[in-house]
Structure 1
Amino acid sequence: MNAATFFDGEEWRDGTIEMIDGRMLLRPGSPASDLRLSDLPRLDGVIVGGFTDHHVHLQLVDHALLHDSTLGRVIDLGGNPAAVAALSEGAARFVAVEFAGAFLTPVGGYPSDRDWAPAGSFREIADTAAATAAVAEMADAGASCIKVANNSTAGPVFSDLLFRAIVEAAAARGLPVVAHAEGVGEAQRAARLGAARLAHAPFTERLDDAEVAAQAASVSWISTLAIHEGDTHATAVDNVRRFRAAGGTVLYGTDMGNGPMPVGLNPAELAALRDAGLDGIDLLRALAPQNPLDPAALLLRLPGTDADPTLARPLTSADLKA
């Protein structure tokens, strides 16, 4: 048994870790004995659970590579619901997989005209009946959220009425709406119409401070900063910096599958988040590590509480001191 410091999702805590029946078990507080934590050998470094990528597309990557990564959970935001559900149960069982199912998009909307979009990865929604049916289909397939595509730079976008109909149908099934909002004014519309998350930190335009403050109180942003270049990258980083300063929740996400990038933790995304002012415990919160007290969670060892997450590696029995 070793004393250990671990991250519980919000703060650093102390506890004990030991190998029992071939598994690492972490417990909070002092051991259930006369021993004190100070009497035990202490694990070098700290423990966190596997990290979360809140925006991936598993059908567009070699998902088997996740097995050797430090990601413990991924959220697929647009794919064939049957195919991604199968991955969540089988091929990607080494990480927890959540998914939105298909993109819900207006007739002719993004990404219906994209060659990269797998068969069955989008549903074109013409009216409220189609919206209700599509939400029900995704929910019944096991979706944990609903993905809406509103991209005015690539085609039509939903009317306010139809967007709200999707939000209401999703709420009736207990599911939040995650919006791809691209084009002038679309991030503002998505937040106003009830989206719980933006799939990308706003990058089309610089939001004014009042809008940033309003969104900080109502929606969370998934970062995906590293997919941008030049002025677009600078705009997204600036928006995130002010959103975070206003108390907004920023979640680590990469849009994995959108061009060449690591199938695992992405150093470029971490660097961009640091540029936007997230570091230390704020960066860990954005990475949303799994609860390391869960026996099923991937346990990672970091050199220290302010260490670079790219230095994390799976905890092994060799890390424990006799």
Structure 2
Amino acid sequence: MIFDCLLTADAAWLGGRELAGPTAIGVREGEIGWIGPLPAAPDATHREHIEGVLLPGLIDYHVHAALIQPEKLLAAGVTTVMDLGWAPAEIWPLVERARHDPGLPRIHAAGPFLTAPGGYPSRQPWAPPLVAIEVDDPAAARRAVEALVAHRPATIKITLNSQAGPVVDDATLHAIVRAADAHGIPVTAHTQGSGQTRRAQLAGVRVLAHTPWTEILDDRLIADLARDTTIISTIDIHGWGEPSPDREIALQNLRRFHSAGGVVRYGTDLGNGPLPLGVNTREIAALTEAGLSPTEVLDAITGAPLRPGAPADVSVVPGDPIANPAVLGQAGAVLKGGQNVTDSDGGG
């Protein structure tokens, strides 16, 4: 088999606690078709040697893409983002554009938030029209989910922020989760306020958009969450590099969750406050402070190692991220679907 392109480098992370040596990746039709040691590399129409360490494309699991310049994220090595809530008139066209524009990262999205009447964020001064769908009973919840399904959302986002307004009752919350489950769509919750994380867990929510920061979670809840829930970190929104009580509570919760075996994903909440547009090395440092090893940080920010059958999305860093996770913020070459976007007009 002859591949469209053969990417080679002196090192790559293919999973595990050490880098692989000289590595080649065979790309065909935008996907990884082969990966292995350089001496065994297959034939290809084009060969490209890249200086640095090959990594899977980086992922930010919590952004608001319409509020930032997503092309700059791609240039920084973030090849995929999860948009966790925005107005449909803005986010769905952006998702579609990203499917065809090599200068944008892949964008998966939730669409508008689901919330109680008058609930967060529908009354926030920054919220555009229709950023939230207000549901007041299980029937309305089911209708809202069905309306979102037509847009193929990656997740359904529910806000349980009792500090900023009313929240849906238990019956409505359970109806949202059941309706989403019927379509194989996970539910992501913003939990804020006493008892809201437990409510989400009991309803079957399986992703938390933020590490909970408004209360210290009890040991039983930590154990329950660790069994079947993913937490997206977003530690740096609390203080933006400065110590704060909310940051300390979030770190304590994340540290205990990770210690109990819970799955942690890197996410920044880009669009919310003065966060760096790229890989946030303060967020990386917070993950290590919460107890993640360098390889666990790599898992958190990539989702999975490079492997055949995956999109040929590659971020290249100048040093060993296992020895120094901070190099994740120093991407050089970036490839999306096998195309070196740092050499294109759209890649920065």
Asked if Structure 1 and Structure 2 have the same fold, meaning a TM-score greater than 0.5 normalized by the shorter chain, the answer is: yes
Contact map agreement 1:292 1:299 (CA 8 A) in 2: no
Q: Matched residues in 2 for 1:26 and 1:5: separation? A: 18
Q: Matched residues in 2 for 1:146 and 1:215: separation? A: 19
What aligned pairs does 1:134-213 form with structure 2 within 5 A after superposition? 134-213=144-223
Q: What is the Cα deviation at residue 189 of structure 1?
A: 1.2
Q: What residue number does 1:320 align with?
A: none
Q: What is the Cα deviation at residue 90 of structure 1?
A: 1.5
Q: What is the Cα deviation at residue 157 of structure 1?
A: 1.1
What aligned pairs does 1:245-264 form with structure 2 within 5 A after superposition? 245-264=259-278
Contact map agreement 1:80 1:120 (CA 8 A) in 2: yes
- AA of the residue aligned to 1:83: E
TM-score (norm 1): 0.86
Cα distance change of structure 1 residues 31 and 105 upon mapping to structure 2, 3 Å threshold: same
Among 290, 295, 299, which residue is 2:315 paired with? Answer: 299
Q: What is the Cα deviation at residue 272 of structure 1?
A: 1.5
Identity of aligned residues (%): 37
Q: What is the Cα deviation at residue 124 of structure 1?
A: 0.3
Q: Matched residues in 1 for 2:31 and 2:231: separation? A: 34
Q: What is the Cα deviation at residue 276 of structure 1?
A: 1.0
Structure 2 residue runs of 5 or longer lacking an equivalent are 1-5, 43-48, 341-348
Among 73, 98, 105, which residue is 1:66 paired with? Answer: 73
Q: Matched residues in 1 for 2:231 and 2:67: separation? A: 22
Cα distance change of structure 1 residues 201 and 32 upon mapping to structure 2, 3 Å threshold: same
Cα distance change of structure 1 residues 10 and 19 upon mapping to structure 2, 3 Å threshold: closer
Q: Matched residues in 2 for 1:292 and 1:222: separation? A: 21
- AA of the residue aligned to 2:156: I
Contact map agreement 1:223 1:250 (CA 8 A) in 2: yes
> How many residues were matched structurally?
310
- AA of the residue aligned to 2:330: L
Q: Matched residues in 2 for 1:189 and 1:18: separation? A: 45
Secondary structure (helix, strand or coil) at the match of 1:123 reads strand
Secondary structure (helix, strand or coil) at the match of 1:278 reads coil
Matched, 1:6 2:12: yes
Secondary structure (helix, strand or coil) at the match of 2:111 reads coil
Q: What is the Cα deviation at residue 158 of structure 1?
A: 1.4
Cα distance change of structure 1 residues 29 and 255 upon mapping to structure 2, 3 Å threshold: same
Contact map agreement 2:9 2:51 (CA 8 A) in 1: no
Contact map agreement 1:50 1:290 (CA 8 A) in 2: no
| 1:123-153 CA-partner distances (Å, limit 9, x unpaired) | 0001222211211121111201000001110
Contact map agreement 1:52 1:71 (CA 8 A) in 2: yes
Structure 1 residue runs of 5 or longer lacking an equivalent are 36-41, 318-322
Cα distance change of structure 1 residues 290 and 246 upon mapping to structure 2, 3 Å threshold: closer
Q: Matched residues in 2 for 1:49 and 1:34: separation? A: 19
| 1:195-222 CA-partner distances (Å, limit 9, x unpaired) | 0111111101111222211110121101
Q: What residue number does 1:313 align with?
A: 332
Contact map agreement 1:9 1:288 (CA 8 A) in 2: no
Matched, 1:83 2:97: no
Q: Matched residues in 2 for 1:235 and 1:167: separation? A: 27
- AA of the residue aligned to 1:183: G
Among 117, 120, 127, which residue is 1:107 paired with? Answer: 117
Cα distance change of structure 1 residues 198 and 9 upon mapping to structure 2, 3 Å threshold: farther
Q: Matched residues in 2 for 1:156 and 1:295: separation? A: 42
Q: What residue number does 1:118 align with?
A: 128
Secondary structure (helix, strand or coil) at the match of 1:142 reads coil
Cα distance change of structure 1 residues 173 and 10 upon mapping to structure 2, 3 Å threshold: farther
- AA of the residue aligned to 2:315: L
Q: What is the Cα deviation at residue 303 of structure 1?
A: 1.1
Q: Matched residues in 2 for 1:76 and 1:241: separation? A: 25
What aligned pairs does 1:260-279 form with structure 2 within 5 A after superposition? 260-279=274-293
Secondary structure (helix, strand or coil) at the match of 1:141 reads coil
- AA of the residue aligned to 2:313: A
Contact map agreement 1:16 1:27 (CA 8 A) in 2: no
Q: What is the Cα deviation at residue 102 of structure 1?
A: 0.6
Cα distance change of structure 1 residues 193 and 79 upon mapping to structure 2, 3 Å threshold: same
Q: What residue number does 2:344 align with?
A: none
Q: Matched residues in 2 for 1:74 and 1:56: separation? A: 7
Contact map agreement 2:226 2:257 (CA 8 A) in 1: yes
Q: Matched residues in 2 for 1:258 and 1:127: separation? A: 30
Contact map agreement 1:14 1:29 (CA 8 A) in 2: no
Secondary structure (helix, strand or coil) at the match of 1:90 reads helix
Q: What is the Cα deviation at residue 9 of structure 1?
A: 5.8
| 1:271-290 CA-partner distances (Å, limit 9, x unpaired) | 21121112310111110256
